[in-house]
Amino acid sequence: MSSPESPAATESPSSPEGRPQSLDLAADPAQLTAALIDVESVSDHETPLADLVEEALRGLEHLSVHRDGDAIIARTELGRAERVVLAGHLDTVPLPTAEGSRGTVPSSWSGSDEDGDLTLYGRGATDMKGGVAVQLGLAAQLSEPNRDITYVFYDHEEVDSAKSGLARLERSVPDLLQADFAVLLEPTDGTVEGGCNGTLRFVIAPQGLAAHSGRAWRGDNAIHKLADVLSVLADYEPATIEVEGLAYREGLNAIRISGGTAGNVIPDAASVEINYRFAPDKTLEQAQQHCRELFPGHELEFVDLSPAARPGLDRASAAAFVAAVGQEPKPKYGWTDVARFSAMGVPAVNFGPGDALLAHTDDEHVSAEAIRQCRRVLLSWLS
């Protein structure tokens, strides 16, 4: 079976573009993933997929549904002792441009279920329509979960944080996001990745005095004033910090540098942009202060600030979830929206199907078994 037809996409009438007009939430989660891939949802164009998701969820009597722009929240209201969030974003990065790429719309398959190597290709296969398919299938099946569940599907994750659909929900309906624990179904290869490092960027831009390079003594070279900054960066030894049993590795690196106007001019301006990845033992304010202490005598202009997230593995819900997964948790070195939940007071982890290293690539793909295994784990935990 090299190119199976997806029941999630073919049992319902399709649009002229080949897009499904409805979603079959009872379908095999790998097939449902294919149906989701077939609905292009590049950031700023999530509406068609959001419409399908909303329509499918409103057909489930055990859920209350709220829509905000292209974000949808669906909740059980059973009065359980705990509430958990399952969250995922609907948007993808733009489609590949490379000729012959398989990370495109529509989806495609290789391998076979009989041989256990059935693989699904297409934009969003890994990041993160496999996770969204798992959410949707559970939302349909779990009418009586052992914990109340809030399912969050949101827009604009793959773009500037100012556009984030999750941040918009936090502003408009914060009460609907409150929970004891959250799972973000970002790709983790089926392993729990607890919390995430924080990240910030800042610019150091010393001023000098322009002069003809033939009379350099009449000027003040701004590039030379970056020498001590670059020396600090070259000598910096990033810390590895344990938080709740997970070892987070930090990093401090120059990511952009500029200066100079001509071959015979002493530059009067120069700048270096620096990225600091910091462990979740620090607040944003503490991370900023650490950077200021590293570069005394320089003014730091902070241009991006994203807090870290503690993993919350000491919570009862988290411990039960880790036990259900059955693998040793790992730290998340990159930044994800678990940080937004953590800032709301909701401990969060990343857990989803697919290899994060394949996200955004031209051959983005995920195995059918990885999607199904993710669903089995969450179903066991919640039922």
Q: How far is CA 368 from CA 127, 317, 362, 372, 373, in A?
A: 14, 27, 19, 6, 9
For residue 222, which of 263, 256, 266 has the smallest C-alpha distance?
266
DSSP 127-139: IIIHHHHHHHHHH
Structure token digits, residue 149: 């569940």
Catalytic site includes residue 157: yes
For residue 63, which of 82, 76, 79 has the smallest C-alpha distance?
76
Residues counted in the chain: 383
Catalytic site includes residue 55: no
Give the helix/strand (H/E) hosting 243. strand 240-243
What is the identity of the amino acid at 6? S
Structure token digits, residue 189: 């290869």
What is the rounded distance in angstroms from the CA atom of residue 135 to the CA atom of residue 57?
A: 11
Exactly one of 70, 91, 180, 244 is catalytic; name it. 91
Exactly one of 157, 193, 268, 273 is catalytic; name it. 157
Produce one character per residue of 127-159: b if its CB has 16 or more CB atoms within 10 Å, e if not.
bbbbbbbbbbbbbbebeebebbbbbbbbbbbbe
Asked if residue 203 lies in contact with residue 272, where contact means CB atoms within 8 angstroms, the answer is yes
What is the rounded distance in angstroms from the CA atom of residue 277 to the CA atom of residue 286?
A: 12
Give the helix ranges, DSSP H, for 7-103: 7-10, 29-37, 47-58
For residue 46, which of 73, 70, 65, 66 has the smallest C-alpha distance?
70
Q: How far is CA 133 from CA 111, 136, 148, 374, in A?
A: 21, 5, 19, 10
Q: Just list the catalytic residues.
A: 91, 157
